[in-house]
Amino acid sequence: MSIPDAVLGRLKDAVGAKGFSTDPNEIAPHLEEWRGKYHGHSALLLKPASTAEVSAILRICYESGTAVVTQGGNTGLVGGQIPLKGEVLLSTQRLNKLRGLDQGGMTMTVEAGVTLAEVQRAAEDKQLLFPLSLASEGSCTIGGNIATNAGGTHVLRYGMTRALVLGLEAVLADGTVLPMLRALHKDNSGYDLKQMFIGSEGTLGVITAATLRLFPRPDVAVTAFAAVPSPAAAVKLLGAMQARTGGMLSAFELMPRIALEFVTRHVEGTRDPLAAPSPWYVLMEATGGKGANVAAGFEDGLAKAIEDGTASDAVVASSAAQAASLWKLRESISEGQKREGASIKHDISVPVAAIPDFLAKAVPAALAVVPGARAVSFGHLGDGNIHFNFNSAQAGDDPAFLAQWEEVQQTVHDIVKEFGGSISAEHGIGAMKVAQLPRYKSHEELEAMRALKRAFDPKNILNPGKLIPPVLRL
């Protein structure tokens, strides 16, 4: 994609000397995502510091028909944030102000480039909680979290990002600013326009600020790591622990033995917390206030599970440091997988009760395509989201294995559809899955999505080629 010099000059003027870069060395880190699967190119990196500058950028792009890709912390895993065709790259990282925090009303208004960790700390300073939690929270941004409707480990208790956003400020393709930063839990005054931008992956507008919902910070947190014989036992344990804790579970994560081995082999400071190996494990957490006897319910539930064979062993963290060490095992799985070499990854969801049957069918089906591969299925069992991954048979690079990505992916996604699931639970569609979406989403839904795209971005300048499949002309 070639952008006229006159347009590039106008865009530079719109943001001033500190607001752009043409230095290839500065731009380079923005052109490749964490897994190295997508590589892009762009002649211009724009770094606006205000909503007004974002508006000016988009007005110029709209008038000139110049495509633009918006990027937050560049932590996305489906290529949605990468300028694959030379588009102008708009980084939100200078939109980094905390605009306000209402402690009594438990809301916070921040700009899109504030990192998730910074939001968490600002809430914590006021004895409050922003419950979204991701492995990339030190670098991912709130704007990116909202644009992808991020999930994470606490969806079971608090919901997806969509449930945590009360208001938005967004800029449309033609530069129009939508001022929707309302801190209201109830607003029945028409279409809830902010929802159009949550999960839209930058295809309908650029999110510049958000009003977020906060919660009381829990006084008590109980974390446990349990060994279970099977995914079916893990699902049974989930129901039992929900009942024992009165619905106070905030996380319930599933991981196989091989994932624990990858982590303890490659990640410093990790170890197996239990005496004997188990085929599967569950990491769970419950939180509550001072008066909630969470620990007793947790321990009673685990004791009963061991007694009836649902679990074979368990350890309950006796300190915050021990809880952190248990969470490190879960949060380091992706790093452990990366150290083991080539991997084919899926981010799928099915109904929670269907997870055991899905795994029983999908694992052998995938292994029929890539014999000898190592199945590493882990993730958010409590909300039905499994990161259904496979590493190559041996550690190291394996181009032949990776060349089968699309065949494995279609095999897995077809089974996901059979179980009434989704081919993207929390990572989004981006560039990776856009061509496959028509196979798994109805024609009527896709046409409605295209109608929204035409209404919000009639010239198709916002992240073109991502999320919205083109209409195939025969």
Model confidence pLDDT, tens digit, residues 235-245: 999 999 999 99
Is 370 a residue whose pLDDT tops 70?
yes
Among residues 145, 255, 158, 254, the alpha carbon closest in space to that of 201 is found at: 145
Q: Are 452 and 204 in contact (CB under 8 A)?
A: yes
Tokens of 77: 């895993």
Is 346 a residue whose pLDDT tops 70?
yes
Among residues 16, 27, 31, 22, the alpha carbon closest in space to that of 3 is found at: 22
Averaged confidence pLDDT in the chain: 96
219-247: string of b/e by CB count within 10 Å (b at 16+)?
eebbbbbbbbeebbbbbbbbebbbebbee
CA dihedral 321, 221, 141, 198 (to 10 degrees): 160
Is 403 a residue whose pLDDT tops 50?
yes
pLDDT the model gives residue 11: 98
Q: Which domains does the chain have, with CATH numbers?
A: 5-91 (3.30.43.10), 98-216 (3.30.465.10), 220-334 (3.30.70.2190), 340-418 (3.30.70.2740)
- Residue 268 corresponds to which amino acid? E
Q: How confident is the model at residue 293 (pLDDT cuts 50, 70, 90)?
A: confident
Is 325 a residue whose pLDDT tops 90?
yes
Is 474 a residue whose pLDDT tops 70?
no
Which residue has better confidence, 299 or 112?
112
pLDDT the model gives residue 289: 83
86-92: average pLDDT: 98
Residue 233 CA to residue 36 CA, distance in Å, equals: 36
Model confidence pLDDT, tens digit, residues 114-162: 999 999 999 999 999 999 999 899 999 999 999 999 999 999 999 999 9
Tokens of 283: 């990491």
pLDDT the model gives residue 473: 46
Residue 111 CA to residue 92 CA, distance in Å, equals: 9
Is 429 a residue whose pLDDT tops 70?
yes
Rounded percentage of the chain residues whose pLDDT exceeds 90: 93
1-22: average pLDDT: 95
Q: How confident is the model at residue 34 (pLDDT cuts 50, 70, 90)?
A: confident
Is 472 a residue whose pLDDT tops 60?
no
- Residue 379 corresponds to which amino acid? G
What is the SS3 assignment for the chain? CCCCHHHHHHHHHHHCHHHEECCHHHHHHHHECCCCCCECCCCCEECCCCHHHHHHHHHHHHHHCCCEEEECCCCCCCCCCCCCCCCEEEECCCCCCEEEEECCCCEEEEECCCEHHHHHHHHHHCCEECCCCCCCCCCCEHHHHHHCCCCCCCHHHHCCHHHHEEEEEEECCCCCEEEECCCCCCCCCCCCCHHHHCCCCCCCCEEEEEEEECEECCCEEEEEEEEECCHHHHHHHHHHHHHHCCCCEEEEEEEEHHHHHHHHHHCCCCCCCCCCCCCEEEEEEEEECCCCCHHHHHHHHHHHHHHCCCCCEEEECCCHHHHHHHHHHHHCHHHHHHHCCCEECCEEECCHHHHHHHHHHHHHHHHHHCCCCEEEEEEEHHHCEEEEEEECCCCCCCHHHHCCHHHHHHHHHHHHHHCCCECECCCCCCCCCCCCHHHHCCHHHHHHHHHHHHHHCCCCCECCCCCCCCCCCC
Model confidence pLDDT, tens digit, residues 195-213: 999 999 999 999 999 999 9
Structure pTM?
Answer: 0.94
